[in-house]
Amino acid sequence: MKDNKKGAFEVGQLYGFVLTLVLIGMIMGVGILVLDKFQQTSGLSNNSIEAINSTGNAIKDIATTWLGLIVTIVVLAIILTIVIRSFAVRR
């Protein structure tokens, strides 16, 4: 991709950002599914089950709370950058 002189973020670069977010979401989803399958496995010690539950709860909190917040902030920053650049004086 061609960089502009100021190094600002361009709309054409959103594809990589969106692809990264989708990939992170997929990895987190697969991680939750794997932890769920491990939890259903018999023969695990109580410490293992407790660790699996704690990890699963931590991942679920990140996926439901923080990932959406991060996406919202980044999208708003991109929109704000586009609006400010549209009103900038060209030299």
pLDDT at position 79:
83
Q: What are the tens digits of pLDDT across the range 56-90?
A: 888 877 777 777 788 888 888 888 888 887 887 66
Length of the chain: 91
Residue 24 lies in a domain: yes
The confidence band for 1, taking pLDDT boundaries of 50, 70 and 90, is: very low
pLDDT at position 8:
57
Of the candidates 51, 56, 52, 27, the residue with the CA atom closest to the CA atom of residue 38: 52
pLDDT at position 35:
82
Domain containing 56 equals: 11-87
Residue 3 lies in a domain: no
Residue 50 lies in a domain: yes
Q: CA 44, CA 51: separation in Å to the nearest integer?
A: 11
User: Into how many domains does the chain fold?
Assistant: 1
H or E element at residue 11: none
